Structure 1
Amino acid sequence: MQQIPVNLSGYKLMVTEEPAMKTRTVDGRDEFVTDQNGVTMFVVGLFAKQRPAAGQKAPKGEEIKVTLTADPGEGFEDGTYVELIDATVTPYSFKNDKGETVSGIAFKATGLKPLG
């Protein structure tokens, strides 16, 4: 199953790495990542921390990387609280060059919305 919708309304999301064009290294050189239509993808680092239930302490948070399908624009500096627009996760699993299996989930969204 690809692109599973995810509801992150129970989490506070804070920018830890400002949005930038997504790159990958191919044959020792960096290149920009685009979708199948040639549109440049962006990536943002977020710290996700669950909002605590009444009378409870919030669990530890986690830093996540989110691929954005469009330029989010200005105003998303380090420390800005945001909401993801149309957030999804996609599970992946592959064998790397060392023969090890690498598995996880990849976060993706169509954009960012500042909070407050």
Structure 2
Amino acid sequence: MSAATATPASPAKETEELLQRISVDPNVCFGKPCVRGTRMMVWVVLDLLGAGETIEQIVEDYPYLSREDVRACLLYASTLPALRTGDPAALDAFGEAVAAAKARRAAA
């Protein structure tokens, strides 16, 4: 299937793919959530964003991170309650909101 005819990923699938970028391993950073394959803890990325850094600045300062990694950190933080309760409906609803936001950005 060519890229032009490829079906876009469903919001739930996109959410799942982003969340796979986050790992929790008791042998890495004391089990704190990190960007997969790095020792960059999610809370560090969130602190940088909270301090006013843009995604572009973070990716420039930490070249081993991608825009998707930063998005995954935000998604992880926002879905943590749903992950803890195991509520798939909450994750699906969030994935739909992500898709709607992407569509608005594309239309702008």
TM-score band (shorter)? under 0.3
Question: TM-score, structure 1 length as denominator?
Answer: 0.22
Q: Which has the higher strand share?
A: 1
Larger Rg over CA atoms: 1
Question: TM-score, structure 2 length as denominator?
Answer: 0.23
Q: Which has the higher helix share?
A: 2
